Structure 1
Amino acid sequence: MTIVTVLGFVLLGIGLWGMLTRKNIIKIIIGFSIMDTGVHLIIVSVGYIFGRTAPIIDSAVPQAQAAQRVVDPIPSALVLTAIVIGLAVTALMLAYAVQMHRTRGSLDINDFRLPVRKRGEA
């Protein structure tokens, strides 16, 4: 296991811990972003193969030897897509946090519990 993979798992754990133990919505969003970065590092480190080059076929890498000499581009492409999706999700969560603060005046997650309804109530 490489240092990047270990760092990815550490960030994944820190982000998960931050999401589960904090009551402030902004801190939960930060924990999500840290966890997201850890997942990206894990995917990139799993897709990387030592001693291989970038997946660009030109005069440096003959087409006949490309399969043996280049890194698989799929994990990198997935991570680029995941970064864009993670950014959009983070922006949406922050927009919800701003709206929740405007309506309730708080960012504590305990202030947003719905009242328990009894059976038969509409």
Structure 2
Amino acid sequence: METALSGLVGLFYAVAVYLMLSKHTIRMILGIVILGNAVNMTIFAAGRVLREVPPIIPAGFDTPPESVANPLPQALVLTAIVISFSFFAFLLVLAYRAYQELGTDDTDEMRVAEPDGEGPPPMGY
């Protein structure tokens, strides 16, 4: 199970890098989302994917009497999912607003496009 999950994680990383190298902002955003999912799956796989008992310590014990599931990777992944979704929503709104202003989602054309009603974009920083 962990070998198949490792292969899938590697595939996710490859697809994410491929999409992030694109010229179009929507593909870049999808690459970032897939990269976030690959990181989440990496964290989840690091916590071992086994069928074990829940991490509950019975009364009268200081430690669990048998092998238990590790809840930390699950909590980290759950938090990361919420954060990555909010980041995705922000990037989507940012890309939509850039498309409205510039009329393109191609990053090469964005560099030379003029916003509506304004002069040429500034050349220096």
What is the TM-score normalised by the length of structure 1?
A: 0.80
Distance 1:65 1:84, change over 3 A: same
1:95 counterpart letter in structure 2: V
1:108 equivalent in structure 2? 106
Matched, 1:23 2:23: yes
Q: SS where residue 26 of structure 1 aligns?
A: helix
Residues 24-80 of structure 1: CA deviation (Å, up to 9, x unaligned): 101111111111111111110110253522324469xx8455274212111110100
Contact preservation (8 Å) 1:24, 1:109: yes
User: What count of residue pairs does the alignment treat as equivalent?
Assistant: 115
Contact preservation (8 Å) 2:58, 2:64: no
Distance 1:73 1:115, change over 3 A: same
Structure (1 or 2) with the greater helix fraction: 1
2:13 counterpart letter in structure 1: L
Distance 1:58 1:35, change over 3 A: same
For 1:2 and 1:80, how far apart are their aligned partners in 2?
Answer: 22
Structure 1: which 5+ runs fail to align?
A: none
Contact preservation (8 Å) 2:57, 2:63: no
Distance 1:71 1:33, change over 3 A: same
Indicate the larger mover: 1-10 or 70-79.
1-10
For 2:101 and 2:65, how far apart are their aligned partners in 1?
Answer: 57
Identity of aligned residues (%): 30
